[in-house]
């Protein structure tokens, strides 16, 4: 059975899924670390971020790439939603056990 499985797996897809899984685990670890620091009142030393936009090198390029990716994947995503995310305030009271809860401020 092991040989049959190994002969019939698409290796590119297996590698891609492995990379995605690794990335998701990394994001989870980062989220846990940030959440514990914020919950403890310590914040992140040397990092003063008030909006998601400040975490992105080039917000316009980020938005364009994200919209293209969503289009290729058949995901419905609007430029306004990305803009709202980028302008969301990142404040400790918006971080909960369930994750970051963005609030729109215009």
| pLDDT tens-digit map of 43-52 | 566 666 667 7
pTM above 0.75, yes or no: no
Of 84, 105, 94, whose CA–CA distance to 34 is shortest? 94
Q: What is the pLDDT of residues 45-96, one digit of tens each?
A: 666 666 778 778 888 999 999 999 999 988 898 999 988 888 877 665 555 5
| Three-state DSSP state, 15 | helix
Collect all residues with Cβ–Cβ distance below 8 Å to 29 and sequence separation of at least 6: none
Structure tokens given for 53:
């936009």
């Amino acid at each position: 059975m092991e040989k049959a499985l190994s002969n019939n797996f698409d290796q590119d897809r297996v590698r891609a899924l492995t990379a995605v899984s690794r990335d998701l685990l990394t994001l989870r670890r980062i989220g846990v670390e940030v959440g514990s620091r914020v919950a403890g009142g310590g914040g992140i030393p040397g990092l003063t971020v008030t909006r998601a936009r400040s975490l992105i090198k080039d917000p316009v390029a980020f938005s364009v790439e994200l919209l293209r990716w969503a289009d290729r994947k058949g995901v419905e995503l609007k430029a306004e939603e990305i803009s709202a995310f980028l302008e969301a305030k990142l404040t400790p009271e918006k971080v909960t056990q369930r994750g970051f809860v963005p609030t729109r401020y215009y």
